[in-house]
């Protein structure tokens, strides 16, 4: 029996991977990831400049972002302004923020400037920015962003309590690989929607289309083993595609920017995040979420394939449901708005690790895992029961 299951499983996998459309979609997805990932290589000398930034900013890595850190940053910029005043004798001379921005770029610290600007959004304040202003602004961002999405006072206070528990001053780390990773990671979610719909929409529907469903009834063990291996093969395909996309995405960023920053606090890449975790833990959570989202997409696609008996209808319904996620639900709708934030296409956005709604004692990541995993199991169970019932009805 187990040997037969293994043979069936391999046959289903082979059938999925043999579709030309699957390979075309996979290649297109990888090309998009590579194009986005290598955007910075398009300019002449970009690689050399990134290397210069890496060397400059790595020298600051490990230093605490305290008063001395900000004083040293100001000293370096003021030195640049003093030694090369001609570079800044233009309309920007009356804008201290713009002058600091340009000077930071000229000394290979524009990434550091951008980081500061993410916290203190009024760039005119950056030239005189102090340690106290920096951390106060970071805390204010957490509160402001929470109010923006309609979090309750209790939810905001919960996140502020977590943020206040982070040891300060935070140590700075060069982490450009992870900053850029966050800019392209969300593409993987949409790529999975496309590739899974193409690959799995016909897993069950093709039985009806090609009239092979009658053959299943003549097998010794009926439909249950076939249903199980189809589900296993579909889930395997989703996991493989997810890891492939993630691997290429990580590979591009790590090859270009290095892996420095893995052990740094998450605030090095998402300054307004109240989470008390490292960047490495954030990445691992993203990998887990991506795999879970892939499995969820696979199971929902397969149950639609069985129920509609049409690959075209399955693809259309799946696409309509997923792309509905492009729209936001007004915060005044309360619970509905909170649950809408957990839609799978949002799972890989950097906002996942900003201050978001709380669901009782659970944060959005914990709630996402519970929902996706539970629904995947429920849908798979319904699929098996429904598939078995159709066997009985056919007889």
As a three-state string, the secondary structure of the chain is: CHHHHHHHHHHHHHHHHCCHHHHHHHHHHHHHHHHHHCHHHCCCCHHHHHHHHHHHHHCCCCCECCHHHHHHHHHHHHHHHHHCHHHHCCHHHHCHHHHHHHHHHHCCCHHHHHHHHHHCCCHHHHHHCCHHHHHHHHHHHHHHHHHHCCCCHHHHHHHHHHHHCCCCCCECCCCHHHHHHHHHCHHHHHHHHHHHHHHHCCCCHHHHHCCCHHHHHCCCCCHHHHHHHHHHHHHHHHHHHHHHHHHHHHHHHHHHHCCCCCCCEHHHCCCCCCCCCEHHHHHHHHHHHHHHHHHHHHHHHHHHHHHHCCHHHHHHHHHHHHHHHHCCCCHHHCHHHHHHCCCHHHCCCHHHHCCCCCECCECHHHHHHHHHHHHHHHHHHHHHHHHHHHHHHHC
Percent of the chain whose predicted confidence (pLDDT) is above 70: 89
- What are the angstrom distances between the C-alpha of 320 and each of 31, 193, 313, 317, 325? 25, 11, 10, 5, 9
For residue 153, what are its two tokens? 């006072």
Q: Which of 162-176, 191-205, 298-312 has the lowest mean pLDDT?
A: 191-205
| 304-358 pLDDT per residue, tens | 988 888 888 888 887 787 777 777 777 777 777 788 888 888 888 888 898 888 8
pLDDT band at 56 (very low <50, low <70, confident <90, very high): confident
Residue in 288, 275, 88, 266 with CA at minimum distance from that of residue 175: 266
| 57-88 pLDDT per residue, tens | 888 899 999 999 999 999 999 999 889 888 88
CA 179 – CA 184 distance, rounded (Å): 10
Q: What pLDDT is attached to residue 302?
A: 92
Residue in 176, 193, 351 with CA at minimum distance from that of residue 252: 176
Kindly report the average pLDDT of the chain as a whole number: 84
| 132-164 pLDDT per residue, tens | 999 999 999 999 888 888 888 999 999 999 999
What are the residues facing 64 on neighbouring strands? 171
pLDDT band at 249 (very low <50, low <70, confident <90, very high): confident
| 102-117 pLDDT per residue, tens | 899 888 888 899 999 9
Q: What pLDDT is attached to residue 45?
A: 54
| 368 CB burial (10 A radius; 0-12, 13-18, 19+) | buried
């Amino acid at each position: 029996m187990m040997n037969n299951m293994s043979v069936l499983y391999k046959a289903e996998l082979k059938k999925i991977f043999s579709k030309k459309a699957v390979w075309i979609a996979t290649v297109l997805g990888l090309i998009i990831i590579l194009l986005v990932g290598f955007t910075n290589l398009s300019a002449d000398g970009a690689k050399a400049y990134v290397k210069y930034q890496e060397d400059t900013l790595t020298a600051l890595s490990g230093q605490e972002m305290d008063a001395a850190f900000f004083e040293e940053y100001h000293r370096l910029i003021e030195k640049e302004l003093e030694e090369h005043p001609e570079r800044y004798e233009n309309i920007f001379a009356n804008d201290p923020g713009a002058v600091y921005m340009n000077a930071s770029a000229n000394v290979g610290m524009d990434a550091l400037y951008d980081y500061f600007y993410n916290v203190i959004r009024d760039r005119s304040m950056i030239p005189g920015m102090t340690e106290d202003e920096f951390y106060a602004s970071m805390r204010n961002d957490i509160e402001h962003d929470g109010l923006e999405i309609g979090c309750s006072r209790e939810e905001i206070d919960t996140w502020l309590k977590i943020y206040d528990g982070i040891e300060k001053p935070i140590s700075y780390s060069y982490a450009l690989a992870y900053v850029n990773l966050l800019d392209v990671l969300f593409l993987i979610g949409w790529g999975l929607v496309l590739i899974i719909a193409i690959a799995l929409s016909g897993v069950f529907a093709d039985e009806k289309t090609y009239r092979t469903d009658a053959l299943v009834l003549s097998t010794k063990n009926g439909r249950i083993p076939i249903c199980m291996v189809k589900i296993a093969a579909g889930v395997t395909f989703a996991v493989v595609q997810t890891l492939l996309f993630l691997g290429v995405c990580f590979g591009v960023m790590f090859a270009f920017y290095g892996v420095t920053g893995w052990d740094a606090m998450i605030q090095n890449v998402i300054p307004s995040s109240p989470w008390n975790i490292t960047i490495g833990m954030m990445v691992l959570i993203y990998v887990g979420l991506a795999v879970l989202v892939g499995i969820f997409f696979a199971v929902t696609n397969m149950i639609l394939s069985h129920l509609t008996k049409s690959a075209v209808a399955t693809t259309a319904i799946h696409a309509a449901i997923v792309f509905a996620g492009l729209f936001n639900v007004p915060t005044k709708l309360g619970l509905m708005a909170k649950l809408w934030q957990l839609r799978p296409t949002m799972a890989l956005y950097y906002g996942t690790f900003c201050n978001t709604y709380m669901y009782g004692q659970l944060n959005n990541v914990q709630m996402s895992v519970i929902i996706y995993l539970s629904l995947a199991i429920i849908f798979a169970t319904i699929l098996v029961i429904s598939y078995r019932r159709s066997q009985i009805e056919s007889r």
